[in-house]
């Protein structure tokens, strides 16, 4: 068995040297420059040793309580758009210097630095909604737009290089390829920034006032891409680092995390970031773990997108088993992307973004069966056509055992019947652009995020009809993924371009934003634990755009 370890030796010393349980608190009040109590300020207790934080909102009377802390020193930060951050250092939870902590908030010296990306995207002018959707589809798949890091190119030639790199599928419309640099300069040059209209930040709704957000930084500054995560049956959180070929295992109770690196077919412990060579030759072996899901036995299955492989991670031995992501005798697949594990049969279903949809046997010799997907002219319903590259993308297993998937650039969703030899594959064209990571609810409704147009689609397989929920400011939002809370039917959506997590109540059509405490939070897949807590990652790429330049695991306790 591989020896377990922590990359946070200081934090380990704190935990194992007799520090008390998570039962202490810091209380206080937040006021503005005139002494008026402030509602809705994000107040965070930041633990530098564990690279973690806990955040709550100040209430109507300005008071806040940060509980569940160790008896140790924290930095207490207040944050609210339109006001300058205020941080009090060295506040001991439960100690005498944490009594009646007062945060006084001054007006921001430059509110433009606090604008979220959905506001900033609105400054880029397009000739039509479809043109804007086209830009979102092919230029915003990895990071936010308009934030300070995004605006870093200084010359038109730099912008041209950046946009060409972002448009990896060559899917931008020809007239946008010719004009997009000018459009970006008109929105984000220094001269343009000086003329931006005033920004009025939205106040949090009453229903979010009891929320609590926990963040744990994992990986290495400017080097990691923490893509997907999964909640383990053992209470641990498993997340994959696509850039550094690693898996992180976080214990939310202690805040400690372990890291194991995929090298050939082994999991090797990495003891320091110095072992990472940012200039290493990735062509030799770069598995690039992308997605991770739990099987019925508690073990984890991964797509290794960069290497065209699939992998099983044994949560007990901490060892990997790696196999081909394509039918024999092919040594590897194209780009294994998203996966789901059939908890009844054990089969692993996954999309290969460069090929089709595949089914992997969980036992040796790990046979792969590939299902050929329909061509564009075989889809049901009129639509908006497909772009260059079909890109099988999201996937899920319905309660009746049917397999549902999306084609991001092919702009379709499809269904595979695993009880039929050829899958009896059927596809439909949604009435919006950019179906990404879909999810099937307990009632069989297929929920689909419309990344391009900023809508959420609900597809009923029985009637083959769509119900469309238009997000507020949707054309400037980029819903990347979603998940359905089986307890109440709520749909949780990544606020990938708005530093939020979003709750949709299907019965009323109401959307509610839960703002995240870190600027440039680009969230990926969403998981919901048994207690109704929402889990995701901060995975902006490049990391230099993000506030701390590092990936994070995020837990939202909605407080509803």
Tokens of 35: 């002494």
> In sequence order, what are the beta bridge partners of 466?
459
Whole-angstrom distance, CA of residue 56 vs CA of residue 441: 30
Q: Calculate mean pLDDT across residues 11-34.
A: 65
pLDDT, residue 5, reads: 39
Q: In this model, does residue 18 exceed pLDDT 70? A: no
Alpha-carbon dihedral of residues 405, 407, 411, 414, nearest 10 degrees?
-30
How do 101-105 and 24-32 pair as beta strands?
A: parallel
* Assigned superfamily of 206-557: YVTN repeat-like/Quinoprotein amine dehydrogenase (2.130.10.10)
* Paired sense of beta strands 500-505 and 510-515, if any: antiparallel
The token duo for 399 is 């309660």
pLDDT at 3 over 80: no
Q: Residues 453, 475: contact at Cβ < 8 Å?
A: yes
Q: What is the pLDDT of residues 363-417, one digit of tens each?
A: 999 999 999 998 766 666 544 444 445 889 999 999 999 999 999 989 999 999 9
Give me the sheet containing 300-304, strands edge to edge: 289-294, 300-304, 309-314, 319-324
Q: What is the pLDDT of residue 536?
A: 98
Structure tokens at 526: 């969403």
pLDDT > 70? residue 280: no
Beta bridge partners of 501: 494, 514
Would you state the pLDDT for residue 293? 98
User: How large a percentage of the chain has pLDDT more than 90?
Assistant: 76
d(CA 359, CA 367): 8
The maximal CA–CA distance of the chain, rounded, in angstroms, is 73
Q: How many Cβ atoms sit within 10 Å of the Cβ of residue 114?
A: 19
Q: Which helix (H) or strand (E) holds 159?
A: helix 156-166
What's this model's pTM, rounded to 2 decimal places? 0.92
Tell me the pLDDT band of 13, cut-offs 50, 70 and 90. Answer: very low
What pLDDT is attached to residue 151?
A: 87
- 149-196: pLDDT as tens digits: 888 876 676 777 777 777 665 678 889 988 999 999 999 999 999 999
Q: How far apart are CA 72 and CA 97, in angstroms?
A: 11
Tell me: pLDDT of 91 over 80. Answer: yes
Here the tokens at position 25 are: 């608190």
Where does 9-109 sit in CATH, by number? Answer: 2.60.40.1120
- Bridge partners, residue 289, by sequence: 304
The secondary structure of residue 379, as a DSSP letter, is: S
* Mean pLDDT to the nearest integer, 59-74: 95
Report the range of poorest mean pLDDT among 50-59, 99-108, 208-217, 532-541. Answer: 99-108
Q: Which residue has the higher pLDDT, 157 or 496?
A: 496
The residue among 511 and 387 whose pLDDT is bigger is 511
344: Cα within 13 Å, side-chain hemisphere: 7
As a whole number, mean pLDDT of residues 503-518 equals: 98
Number of Cβ within a 10 Å radius of residue 236: 17
- The length of the chain in residues reads 560
Task: Report the candidate in 509, 466, 514, 515 with the shortest Cα–Cα distance to residue 489.
Answer: 509
CB within 8 Å of 524: residues ≥ 6 apart: 227, 228, 480, 481, 494, 496, 536, 537, 539
Q: In 3D, which of 471, 510, 479, 484 has the Cα closest to residue 495? A: 479
Higher pLDDT, 172 or 328: 328
What DSSP assignment string belongs to 179-199? HHHHHHHHHHSHHHHHTPPP-
Place of tokens 């339109």: 82
């Amino acid at each position: 068995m591989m020896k377990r370890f922590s990359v946070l030796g200081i934090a380990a010393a704190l935990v194992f040297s007799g520090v008390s349980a998570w039962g202490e608190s810091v209380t206080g009040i937040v006021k503005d420059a005139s002494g008026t109590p402030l509602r809705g300020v994000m107040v965070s207790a930041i633990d530098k040793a564990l690279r973690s934080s806990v955040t709550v909102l100040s209430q109507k009377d300005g008071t806040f309580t940060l509980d569940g802390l160790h008896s140790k020193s924290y930095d207490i930060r207040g944050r609210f758009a339109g006001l300058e951050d205020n941080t009090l250092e060295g506040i001991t939870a439960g100690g005498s210097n944490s009594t009646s902590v007062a945060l006084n908030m001054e007006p921001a010296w430059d509110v433009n630095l606090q604008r979220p990306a959905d506001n900033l995207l609105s400054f880029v002018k397009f000739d039509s909604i479809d043109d804007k959707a086209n830009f979102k589809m092919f230029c915003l798949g990895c990071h936010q737009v308009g934030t300070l890091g995004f605006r870093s190119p200084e010359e038109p030639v730099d912008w041209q290089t950046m946009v060409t790199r972002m448009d990896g599928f060559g899917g931008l419309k020809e007239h946008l390829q010719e004009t997009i640099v000018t459009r970006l300069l008109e929105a984000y040059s220094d001269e343009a920034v000086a003329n931006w209209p005033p920004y009025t930040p939205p106040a949090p709704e009453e229903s979010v006032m009891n929320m609590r957000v926990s963040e744990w930084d994992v990986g290495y500054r400017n080097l990691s891409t923490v893509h997907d995560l999964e909640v383990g049956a053992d209470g641990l959180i498993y997340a994959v680092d696509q850039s550094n070929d690693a898996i992180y295992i976080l214990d939310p109770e202690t805040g400690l995390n372990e890291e194991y690196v995929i090298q050939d077919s082994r999991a090797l412990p990495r003891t320091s970031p110095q072992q990472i060579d940012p200039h290493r030759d990735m062509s030799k072996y770069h598995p690039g773990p992308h997605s991770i899901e739990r099987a019925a036995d508690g073990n984890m299955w991964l797509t290794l997108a960069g290497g065209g492989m699939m992998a099983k991670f044994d949560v007990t031995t901490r060892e990997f088993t790696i196999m081909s992501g394509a039918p024999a005798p092919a040594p590897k697949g194209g780009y294994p992307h998203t996966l789901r594990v059939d908890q009844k049969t054990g089969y692993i279903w996954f999309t290969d973004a460069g090929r089709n949809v595949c089914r992997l046997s969980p036992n040796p010799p790990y046979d792969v069966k590939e299902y050929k997907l329909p061509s564009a002219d075989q889809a049901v319903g009129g639509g908006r056509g497909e772009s260059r590259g079909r890109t099988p993308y999201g996937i899920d297993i319905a309660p009746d055992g049917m397999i549902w998937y999306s084609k991001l650039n092919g702009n379709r969703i499809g269904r595979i019947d695993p009880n039929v030899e050829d899958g009896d594959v059927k596809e439909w064209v949604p009435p919006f652009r950019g179906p990404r990571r879909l999810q099937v609810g307990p009632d069989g409704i297929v929920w689909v995020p419309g990344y391009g147009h900023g809508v959420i689609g609900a597809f009923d397989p029985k009637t083959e009809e769509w119900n469309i929920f238009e997000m507020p400011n949707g054309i400037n939002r980029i819903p990347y993924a979603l998940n359905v809370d089986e307890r109440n039917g709520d749909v949780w959506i990544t606020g990938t371009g708005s530093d939020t997590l979003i709750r949709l109540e299907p019965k009323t059509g109401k959307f509610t934003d839960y703002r995240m405490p870190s600027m440039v939070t680009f969230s990926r897949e969403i998981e919901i634990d048994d207690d109704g807590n929402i889990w995701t990652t901060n995975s902006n790429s490049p990391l230099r755009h993000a506030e701390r330049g590092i990936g994070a695991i995020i837990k939202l306790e909605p407080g509803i």
